[in-house]
Chains A and B, each alone.
Chain A
Amino acid sequence: MSNTHDNHEAVGHHDEHAHHEENFVSKYIFSMDHKMIAKQFLITGIIMGTIGMLMSLVFRLQLAYPDTKFAFFESILGHWGKDGKLDPNFYLALITIHGTIMVFYVLTAGLSGTFSNLLIPLQVGARDMASPFMNMLSYWFFFISSIVLLCSLFVEGGPASAGWTVYPPLSALPKAIPGSGAGMTLWLVAMVLFIVSALLGGINYITTVLNMRTKGMKMTRMPLTIWAFLITAVLGLLSFPVLLGGSLLLVFDRSFGTSFYLNEIVAELAGGIERTGGSPVLFQHLFWFLGHPEVYIILLPALGITSEVIATNSRKPIFGYRAMIISILAIAFLSFIVWGHHMFMTGMNPFLGSVFMLGTLIIAVPSAVKTFNYLATLWKGNIKLTPAMLFAIGLVSFFISGGLTGIYLGNAALDINLHDTYFVVAHFHLVMGSAAIFGMMSGIYHWYPKMFGTMMSKSLGYIHFWLTFISAYCVFFPMHFMGLAGVPRRYYANTAYDQFNVFIDMNQFITIAAILGGIAQLVFLFNFFYSIRNGKRSPKNPWDSNTLEWTAPVEHLHGNWPGEIPHVYRWPYDYSKPGEESDFIPQNIPDESQNGDPMVEPKAPAVPHHTEAPPMQSQVKEVVMFSGLRRLFGFAG
């Protein structure tokens, strides 16, 4: 660690960046090292994820055994589990907080926060983030936000219970549901803090990617993970402020008697002030203007991680690197103009329904391109089935299953009968729940050696994967059929309806599968924490990967590389290149034709064509398509 200090000279981006001694607090708590912040994000995310999952098990038990009394409910939930029966209001609170935790705290912060922080500086070849201080603030805002959200579980009336989408008037009128009292206020506070954290992080990620790349790391030589994180950060940056505005107005509606989202509400329901003039649909527009990009904020990092993991473990270049980038950009762009497909049945103008439907179904095209590219990458590969790879394959499988059901829901006409049924629950749990969690797991297994310097147990990883994979399909696949039978989501019990109650056996099956999945996570948790101390020491490049992070030493230095930052001479996917002895060539290995200048393209094109000569026409087209992109980002070829 002696050279850490020497490097400080080179690390300090700020003049204020003082030479300070690393003590416990500055190293582990208020750390400004992106690697430590990544670990903080990850561990907080895992803890939140565990809480979210336990909540889901509680309400799954209720759904499967609506007539049974569980004695332990009373002991752990107190008056919300009186006589072993879950309180219907608390059931709604549980689904709300489960959704909030999973969407924002686990899959946004835990996934994108962890891996953006860990990988962006390491993979683009930077000593740290553009502003390490803001990075630290980002984590601490997130941490405080988590605490506030968890605190809301203990307030009078319970936590927010209007669904994670908190549609007013239910969320705006404290009399409408107990959870819309103090719990809802805390939810909003937590969300505002979370947005601040997301913005601080996002600004940092974008700036780092754009401005801090090492020599030779052109945009066209960036790993797909970085592309995904960059676009994710852009999505977050543009959409979170809209939710900030929306939440602000909701706060005013709740606490200061305004009526932005309320109309024709009598005084006695609304705290003594009659509310007219607003529209609940307005909130839904503002919410989903965030909410839909949010889906891709969750999914894109997972897809980026998958691209990297699949290419590395197939020992093959990712198929269609440029098509992948264009797909990411297309998905990101389209995600901003389709938010209304969550609102087809909410009293929105049917004309807008047509517009949103058009955009939504177009998203299927870049998604399909991504899927086919993954398949083509696997084809004739030399696939090492590491746990990370298995999770990546699982992600692709979920992405296909969940993506295809999206075609039903994106179709406004079909949404008429599927809106807010279990079909929706099944769809989004597959495509952004399971798929994103699998992306996160894949990333954890893959970059664990980079984070902790030790290896996780492979065998336990396999057990974890298979149990989780099977249970996830068992939980979510049958739900489609409930949805097709018209079972609405967010129902405390289906006992009031004979035609829904026939699904009781399926509900029990799902719950058992969910408990199995929960137990499988214990395997993971054990593996994760046990391996930090007891895992095998990791070699420098355990997966024979090309990207820059594996050229950094296993021990963490503040500044990442002990000497000069490696220069980049090639794209990150030179796996199994013909004529080369090794089946991988890291990005920092120069080509003979480059004369040691990283800015020169290697003689063999950076994205070499396969053995047959490509048709002239397509080459021209590619140049046209891609040079436009290059011009946009202003990096000369």
Chain B
Amino acid sequence: MEHTEHLEHTESPADIKKQIWRTFWILSFLTVIDIVLYFALLSYHSMWKNTLFILLGVVKAFYIVAVFMHMKFERKALAGIIILPFMLVLVLIWLVLIEGGYTFDLR
């Protein structure tokens, strides 16, 4: 059993609760940042702005999956089999968006 140490860690309920609330504040803060950025960059259209929003979304997703869904404390292998296949979606997104741009050019 390679990753036993992850599983055997027994935090006290108070610790866990603290961690949950901390995550909540992080998520809320990130959402606020989203909104603030949105208005700050309102007249500014670029790839970078969108990338920023997506990155913030990914960070939020990370906290939800890692803490709320307890993925951080599961075995790495489980995380691997859930997250790696999902990467295939990125291929779909990437290629279909290229296609969308091409359609735009054609029309």
Contacts and interface: CB of A to CB of B under 8 A. Distances in A.
Interface of A: 210, 234, 238, 242, 279, 281-282, 285, 289, 336-337, 340, 347-349, 351-352, 355, 631-634, 636
A634 B103 contact: no
A634 B78 contact: yes
Interface in B30-49: none
Given A285-B95, A349-B98, 20 more contacts: A234-B85, A242-B92, A285-B92, A285-B96, A336-B91, A347-B106, A348-B99, A348-B102, A352-B98, A352-B102, A355-B95, A631-B77, A632-B80, A632-B84, A633-B77, A633-B81, A634-B3, A634-B76, A634-B80, A636-B1
Contacts of A352: 95, 98-99, 102
30 contacts: A210-B81, A234-B85, A238-B88, A242-B92, A279-B103, A281-B99, A281-B103, A285-B92, A285-B95, A285-B99, A289-B92, A336-B88, A337-B88, A340-B95, A349-B98, A349-B99, A351-B98, A352-B95, A352-B99, A355-B95, A631-B77, A632-B80, A632-B81, A633-B81, A634-B2, A634-B3, A634-B78, A634-B80, A636-B1, A636-B2
A38 to B, nearest CB: 26
B75 interface: yes
Contacts, number: 49
A634 B80 CA distance: 9
Interface string B14-57: 00000000000000000000000000000000000000000000
B1 to A, nearest CB: 7
A397 B19 CA distance: 60
Contacts of B3: 634
B17 to A, nearest CB: 29
A243 to B, nearest CB: 12
Of the listed residues B2, B78, B88, the one surrounded by the most CB atoms of chain A closer than 10 A to its CB is B88
Nearest to A289: B92
Q: Is the interface of B mostly helix, strand, loop or mixed?
A: helix
Contacts of B96: 282, 285
A632 B77 contact: yes
A238 B92 CA distance: 12
Interface of B: 1-3, 75-78, 80-81, 84-85, 88, 91-92, 95-96, 98-99, 102-103, 106
A249 to B, nearest CB: 13
Nearest to A336: B88
Contacts of A355: 95
Contacts of B106: 347
Contacts of A285: 92, 95-96, 99
B102 A349 contact: yes
Contacts of B77: 631-634
A336 B106 CA distance: 27
A602 B7 CA distance: 30
Contacts of A348: 99, 102
A349 B81 CA distance: 32
Nearest to A263: B107
A352 B92 CA distance: 12
A599 to B, nearest CB: 12
Contacts of A210: 81
Contacts of B92: 242, 285, 289
Contacts of B98: 349, 351-352
Given A636-B1, A636-B2, A238 B81 contact: no
A340 B91 CA distance: 12
A562 B27 CA distance: 53
Contacts of A633: 77, 81
A368 B102 CA distance: 35
A281 B104 CA distance: 13
Contacts of A242: 92
Nearest to B80: A632
Nearest to B79: A634
Ranked nearest first, the 5 interchain pairs of A and B with the lowest CB-CB distance are A634-B77, A349-B102, A336-B88, A337-B91, A285-B96
A99 B96 CA distance: 26
B106 to A, nearest CB: 8
B22 to A, nearest CB: 29
A610 B95 CA distance: 46
Contacts of B78: 634
A181 to B, nearest CB: 29
A333 to B, nearest CB: 8
Contacts of B88: 238, 336-337
Nearest to A210: B81
A189 B85 CA distance: 28
A500 to B, nearest CB: 32
A277 to B, nearest CB: 11
A355 B95 CA distance: 9
Contacts of B95: 285, 340, 352, 355
B85 A238 contact: yes
A636 B3 CA distance: 10
A176 B3 CA distance: 59
Nearest to A333: B88
Nearest to B75: A634
Of the listed residues A234, A282, A349, A631, the one surrounded by the most CB atoms of chain B closer than 10 A to its CB is A349
B73 to A, nearest CB: 14
Contacts of A234: 85
Contacts of A281: 99, 103
A501 to B, nearest CB: 37
A454 B98 CA distance: 57
